Amino acid sequence: VPSRNAKAIRDGILTYINNPKLAKKNAKRARERVVKRFDWRVVGRDVERVYERFYNKRNK
């Protein structure tokens, strides 16, 4: 759904209201994606990579 588009947002909400199975399916997929992306191990690994790149650039 495009942001700042009231009609598209309204239509998206109505789609989920009229199709609860689709809403539940998409909610489950969205949660799985968030859990994968923002797991502390993943975030920690990403932060470590940033620090390593910064450190390596500074010490060349």
- Please, what is the average pLDDT of the chain? 94
According to the model, what pLDDT value does residue 9 have?
96
Domain boundaries, given as residue ranges, for the chain: 6-58
Asked if the model's pLDDT at residue 49 lies above 90, the reply is: yes
State percent of the chain over pLDDT 70.
100
Residue 60 has what pLDDT? 77
pTM of the entire predicted model: 0.61
Q: Where are the alpha helices (DSSP H) in 1-60?
A: 6-18, 20-38, 40-58
Q: 7-20: string of b/e by CB count within 10 Å (b at 16+)?
A: eeeeeeeeeeeeee
